[in-house]
Amino acid sequence: MNMARIWESTGPERTRAFGRRLGSLLRPGDVVGLIGPLGSGKTCLAQGIIEGLGVQGPIPSPTFTLIHQYRGRLPVYHFDLYRLEDPRELEELGAEEYFYDDGVTIIEWAERAGDYLPRSYLRLELERVPGREDNARRVFLSAVGEGYLHLVKALLEEELPAEELPGKER
């Protein structure tokens, strides 16, 4: 069963708050794939997830290095595949070791990983809300494969304080 959730965020702080909430729910071995065009909020959301995993201090985008590692309540591996020219480069990086480690892996531009993406992961697809000129974003949250339905359900079922929610459920 593949459940999906749609969130709307009115700006970066609400997007980060959603990320922090999600980060607090992640478990060892979880993989989160972020998909969306340039400027859709992937890095902002990733930073919130990393903060939710207990990482403190600056969280830069790993665009020029492809991966940053952090230490929070779990190890965090933050990939940014924007500059990836060929998915086979992930094999050279040893990405599978990260994907199947006891840490949490966050992959920006996950669609560029091709067949190297794990069979199961949490998929977050971001887009600007059409027709809006503010910082509104839409986040489509879905479980791919096995093992991520608990996260989608947790975000569907829990009543979160309004200031922590990135928007209304659709």
Helix (H) or strand (E) holding 77: strand 75-80
Examine residue 63 and state whether it is found in any structural domain, yes or no. yes
| Rounded CA separation 59/89 (Å) | 24
Examine residue 126 and state whether it is found in any structural domain, yes or no. no
Residue 121: the pLDDT is 94
Examine residue 108 and state whether it is found in any structural domain, yes or no. no
**Residue 158 confidence class, pLDDT cut points 50, 70, 90:** low
Phi, psi (degrees; rounded to nearest 5) at 52: -65, -20
Q: Is the pLDDT of residue 1 over 50?
A: no
Residues 6+ apart with CB under 8 A from 157: none
| Rounded CA separation 146/142 (Å) | 11
Q: Which residues of 111-149 are buried (b: 16+ CB within 10 A; e: fewer)?
A: ebbeebbbeebbbbbbebeeeeeebbbbbbbbbbeebbe
Q: CA 59: distance to chain centroid?
A: 14
Number of domains the chain contains: 1
Among 132, 96, 137, 130, which Cα is nearest to 113's? Answer: 96
Q: Is the pLDDT of residue 166 over 70?
A: no
10 vs 133, which has greater pLDDT? 10
pLDDT, tens digit (0-9, with 9 covering 90-100), for 12-70 = 999 999 899 999 999 999 999 999 999 899 999 999 999 999 999 888 776 677 889 99
As a whole number, the mean pLDDT across the chain is 85
166 vs 113, which has greater pLDDT? 113
Residue 42: the pLDDT is 93
Examine residue 84 and state whether it is found in any structural domain, yes or no. yes
* Mean pLDDT, residues 118-125 taken together: 93
Examine residue 138 and state whether it is found in any structural domain, yes or no. no
Examine residue 98 and state whether it is found in any structural domain, yes or no. no
* Whether 11 contacts 135, CB under 8 Å: yes
Examine residue 74 and state whether it is found in any structural domain, yes or no. yes
Examine residue 15 and state whether it is found in any structural domain, yes or no. yes
Q: Give the domain range for residue 19.
A: 1-36+46-93+165-170
Q: Is the pLDDT of residue 156 over 50?
A: yes
Check which CATH number belongs to the domain holding 78 and give it. 3.40.50.300
